Structure 1
């Protein structure tokens, strides 16, 4: 029985027991090809939901690791810092539409109100920036220490979910859908987000996230960032259209509350964020049709127009982008640095408790040794 009503064209439906999409008869031959993007998505959703995050943390670089390509991925990120930050924020919102992931976030109760959301998501940003900045090859580097902590947190969350009665959580499927949140839109919505780079840059960011995925517990056969650039892009496109877009149109009951908490928690870093405006922008980027209902208040309309104008004009027209891309990049980098080192804006919003630093070895209330 379908969880959602099947389309008249019988293009796909979603059985209750999995998030597997069944493709139309006309494409079955292609979908049955194990090398095809359709079959990869099928395997990720069907098989990956039954396999937990890999508990054995890799210590050595994989044999396929390319140092130059990895470094180029870092450069691509830094040259598009602002636009990629927006892409990642949209990706975080999309991840909240996945019930199995949302269950874990609600269970931990550490992002259910704006202050704890500020702590959690600032930690997420700090870890991500360490991956993009420091040397992965050195065992004692901040990058290696960071991936070790994040891997431990995933394992701890998986154990806690199982003990709480939620069942298997933080699966390979959950990990891959989260991996999409960090790189999928960079590939699929490069033009819409005004991300500047070549195919080689895109392949570099794919390699970067394949490597990070490997270190934080994604098995190679499930890793979203395998194959040629076009294969990865096609796989991401199917995930966006067949997983995230339907989920965004019909999200879980707690989705809106968690999005509001996320946006309010991120506001010290990006004060102009508005929930209604950014959700409208998110739907636009994901290709959802315009609802035809105008934003409720003048502030939301202004914030949406500014967001759209930034990506449609300031970062698109060459002579404007020459000035505004580095300016927006620097402004966002400075804001993140300020909130990590001297969170005065967060203190104004959340109080003096913001200045109590969380040790680097335990950046999250769930520690890797929790069991």
Structure 2
């Protein structure tokens, strides 16, 4: 019980630091050197995490897809994504999220600290894109680091980490991850600690920094306090974000016919205890997916 209480307090402290301070720090931390593994990096553990990622790629992708959709319920995340003009129609959404799948595949396959690897080049490209968008929006919105909430902040990067691993951390079996040992589960979280670092997450704000219990606890707080109120609201707080999530499903349906906004929410609403929302499936193809 003492351990549980200590973990709970640690998670609460990290959450408060993230909310109170993480929004004012740029998303690409000056404390991160993407060319050099951090002191805590364990090459063997990371290689194992990559092997597990390749083995469970489909199940991980299922959880990640929900996370990427839910991220759009947040007004600022939606504003950031729409600022590039790469999400204005279904065709652009398809290219954007297919590109995301390719990037993640590279991260699972190659060494992120080898400057000649596809993973390193991919991460370098994503960091550059984040830096470019952040600079543009910081100027446009007249924000100042250390004083104002920033676009693509450390807080925003933690949101992005949650999009990729939050639902997998909270609901591994519901994502299709059965039979994982505690060590395997820890390795899957460790993967996103490393990738988060490579993308610019400061250790102070890195969602996956800490024990598995701490990471799951922080994910639970983040979902309960941020995403659950947005998802369960009778009227969408960010209507444009919900419509973009539906557009992503329509776009990615070209890759897998089971991808449908209604099907996904029909599955996840009961799991997430969103009891005030019901979904009526309209077509045989949607019904048979469930």
TM-score between the two structures when normalised by the length of structure 2: 0.88
Structure-2 change in CA distance of 1:299 and 1:275 (3 Å): farther
**C-alpha distance after superposition, 1:58-89 (max 9, x if no partner):** 22011110111111111222222221111010
1:186 corresponds, among 164, 168, 173, to 168
TM-aligned CA deviation for residue 200 of structure 1: 0.5
TM-aligned CA deviation for residue 112 of structure 1: 2.3
Distance 1:182 1:118 in 2: 18
1:319 aligns with none
TM-aligned CA deviation for residue 227 of structure 1: 1.2
1:98 aligns with 74
Structure-2 change in CA distance of 1:61 and 1:35 (3 Å): farther
Tell me which moved more, 131-140 or 152-161.
Answer: 131-140
1:38 aligns with 12
Distance 1:121 1:301 in 2: 22
Q: In the alignment, is residue 216 of structure 1 matched against residue 199 of structure 2?
A: yes
1:83 corresponds, among 48, 54, 59, to 59
TM-aligned CA deviation for residue 300 of structure 1: 6.7
Structure-2 change in CA distance of 1:62 and 1:113 (3 Å): same
Q: In the alignment, is residue 259 of structure 1 matched against residue 233 of structure 2?
A: no
Structure-2 change in CA distance of 1:91 and 1:294 (3 Å): closer
Structure-2 change in CA distance of 1:98 and 1:166 (3 Å): farther
1:169 corresponds, among 151, 168, 191, to 151
Matches within 5 A, 1:102-251: 102-165=78-141, 167=143, 168-196=150-178, 197-250=180-233, 251=237
Structure-2 change in CA distance of 1:215 and 1:114 (3 Å): same
1:280 aligns with 266
Distance 2:209 2:14 in 1: 10
Q: Report SS of the residue matched to 2:206.
A: coil
Distance 1:220 1:288 in 2: 33
CA contact (8 A) 1:162 1:169 kept: yes
Distance 2:243 2:224 in 1: 24
Larger radius of gyration: 1
Tell me which moved more, 34-43 or 69-78.
Answer: 34-43
Structure-2 change in CA distance of 1:224 and 1:280 (3 Å): same
CA contact (8 A) 1:207 1:225 kept: yes
TM-aligned CA deviation for residue 290 of structure 1: 5.5
Higher relative contact order (CA 8 A, sep 6+): 2
Unaligned residue ranges in structure 1 (runs of 5+) = 1-29, 308-371
Distance 2:279 2:210 in 1: 42
**C-alpha distance after superposition, 1:157-191 (max 9, x if no partner):** 10111233274200111110110111111121012
TM-score between the two structures when normalised by the length of structure 1: 0.69
Q: In the alignment, is residue 51 of structure 1 matched against residue 36 of structure 2?
A: no
Unaligned residue ranges in structure 2 (runs of 5+) = 144-149
